[in-house]
Amino acid sequence: MPRDLGRVQLVGAGPGAADLLTVRALRAIEGAEALLYDALVCDETIAFAPAKCVRIQTGKRSGKTSMSQDAINRLMLRLARRGLNVVRLKGGDPSIFGRSGEEREFLERHGVSVEVVPGVTAASAAAAQFGMTLTHRGMARRVMFATARVEDGVLADDGWIAGADAETTLAVYMGREAAACVSRALIAHGRSPATPAIAVENAGRNDATIIEGTLQTIGARLEDARRAGPVVILIGEVAGLRASNVEALLRTAGAVG
């Protein structure tokens, strides 16, 4: 007798460190019968899956060859039709540039039950790790998450005027190659070239590194550093709020008497 149709959980693995998994994410991995994981998910996290679990690396790393999205969708469907509990393990949060909407729509269209388990996103991990916040009273009233695609040295998308607002913290994901173009676009829309900016490689992990600069300089500094790992760029006044200089920055902003 055939097994009942399985289900799929789209699970956020967080920015990389296994101890930043949520309890719900950990339980999902521990109960997986098939685990499809992104290239950036660490071995320690994958090891939480049961010994008999089918484990398939699906790639999905920016700029690298990987399994196509259509192939991933159909693989999840095949495994679910075999009656397996499928965990699609994604770096960060599935709902932030994780294509969870596309995958959920495809699976539900074919009758498969889907649950999304959120995870810690790279911008939050970077801010916490390096002693700053994404919002701050009197400095940053909103946060904007963005990706950037460059074609022939020019940003292939628009909408950057929203990130030019001085009270917006802009988090640019997968932006290593696009940093200089993003800076030029924001400056052209009126954001100050002196706006603090940082680039964090491997946010949330023990080997995380930070490059500090301004909107004017962050692209060149990132290029000179030749980083290979995943990078999130944070742009805004809060990017200057390191633990050692919070009071001075707040005085400059008029938040301290």
Average pLDDT over the chain, rounded to an integer = 89
CATH classification of the domain holding 219: 3.30.950.10
For position 107, what pLDDT does the model report?
97
Residues 6+ apart with CB under 8 A from 104: 10, 114, 116
Q: What is the pLDDT of residues 13-43, one digit of tens each?
A: 999 899 999 999 999 999 999 999 998 899 9
133-158 pLDDT, tens digit each: 999 998 999 999 999 888 777 777 77
Residue type, 168: T
pLDDT single digits (tens) 182-221: 999 999 999 999 999 999 999 999 999 999 999 999 999 9
Q: Rounded to two decimals, what is the model's pTM?
A: 0.87
**63-115 residue pLDDT tens:** 555 789 999 999 999 999 999 999 999 999 999 999 999 999 999 999 999 99
Instruction: Give the Cα separation of 146 and 171 in Å (integer).
Output: 6
If asked whether residues 97 and 16 sit together in one domain, one would say: yes
Q: Are residues 139 and 64 in the same domain?
A: no
Q: Would you say 80 and 5 are in contact if contact means Cβ atoms under 8 Å apart?
A: yes
Known active-site residue 60: yes
Q: How far is CA 30 from the centre of its chain?
A: 23
Instruction: Tell me the three state secondary structure of residue 60.
Output: coil
For the chain, the domain total comes to 2
- Which of 4, 60, 64, 90 does the annotation list as catalytic? 60
Residue 1 domain-assigned (yes or no): no
Burial classification of residue 240, based on how many CB atoms lie within 10 Å of its CB (0-12 exposed, 13-18 middle, 19 or more buried): buried
**Residue 200: which domain range?**
122-253
CA 192 to chain centre: 25
Cα dist from 209 to 63, 95, 126, 189, 190, whole Å: 20, 25, 10, 29, 29
Is residue 126 within 8 A of residue 148, CB to CB? The reply is no
Q: Looking at the structure, tell me whether residues 127 and 101 fall in a common domain.
A: no
Same domain flag for 235 and 149 = yes
Whether residue 38 lies in the annotated active site: yes
User: Catalytic residue among 4, 19, 38, 207, which?
Assistant: 38
- What does the alpha-carbon distance between residue 129 and residue 204 come to, in Å, rounded to a whole number? 6
Residues 64 and 13 in one domain: yes
Question: For position 151, what pLDDT does the model report?
Answer: 77
Residues 174 and 92 in one domain: no
Please check whether residues 127 and 234 belong to one and the same domain: yes
A 10 A CB-CB count for 166 gives 13
